[in-house]
Amino acid sequence: MLLLHFSSEGIMDITFFESLIIVVLLLVTYRQYMTIRYLKNELSHDPLTGLRIMRHFEKKCLEVMDRVERKREDSLAASEEEHTPHRTYQHSHSVAFVDLDGLQWTNNHADYGYFIGDRILVALANILNRWRRQDDLVVRRSKGGDEFLILFAGSNKEEAERLLLENRRRFERVIENRFPGLAGNVSFSFGVREVNLKQSEDEIAQAIEGASKVMHRFKKERKMDRRVSSLKEDGVLK
């Protein structure tokens, strides 16, 4: 127990020993707070890319969509009062399933290996996160995986696909500049499905699964296109 002493003027007089105890207690409390904060961050964020990990992604999507819709309502209300043009928020939102192409090939290649593979993963994560808009959500699907999930808040399927194609061009330019030997072998495939605020978490999960299936179909088509191009270059096909 700390004993607090008061002088005749009513001002608290704390001894040096009591002050030291208070400082120690504050330091211990702060250390516990920082430890809890660190552990929470470790559980929710991927240490390699710095992105959030897919924990309750469907719930987070609904929260973000709700916030965007409320912004839209507030914007409409303000524009009606001020009679000025307002920013519109679409009712459509989109989820994307992104898969890095060529990571396994890079990891198994004698000239590159897992170190370069990790750098490629980080490069893709940085592009997806850097070019996301304010209300968009980007997460890594799992630690150790090469898949990412994105919520394009307020964007329909066509808009989301356009943004992803722009990011793919940016990513491929990074590969060409940093790892010229990997150019043409490393890129990413994606699939997109539209979602809305009326859907449940289970329905959002089904939309993500649908986007995954679209991604895998496009991935196979891209592999086939590259194989055909390679055979043409080798003179096997004309």
Domain boundaries, the chain: 1-33, 57-233
What confidence score (pLDDT) does residue 83 get? 57
- What is the rounded CA–CA span in Å between residue 214 and residue 224? 16
What confidence score (pLDDT) does residue 40 get? 46
**What digits encode the pLDDT tens for the residues 38-72?**
444 444 678 889 888 877 788 889 998 888 888 87
What confidence score (pLDDT) does residue 238 get? 55
What confidence score (pLDDT) does residue 73 get? 76
Helices 201-233 and 57-82 meet at what angle, rounded to 10? 100
What confidence score (pLDDT) does residue 79 get? 63
What confidence score (pLDDT) does residue 143 get? 78
CATH of 57-233, one of 3.40.50.720, 3.40.640.10, 3.30.565.10, 3.30.70.270: 3.30.70.270
Low-confidence ranges of the chain (pLDDT < 50): 1-3, 6, 10-11, 38-43, 86-87, 89, 231, 236-237
What confidence score (pLDDT) does residue 198 get? 82
What confidence score (pLDDT) does residue 11 get? 47
- What is the rounded CA–CA span in Å between residue 36 and residue 42? 10
What confidence score (pLDDT) does residue 82 get? 60
Q: Which residues contact 94 (CB under 8 A, 6 or more apart)?
A: 151, 152, 155, 156, 157, 159, 160, 192, 193, 194, 195
What confidence score (pLDDT) does residue 187 get? 95
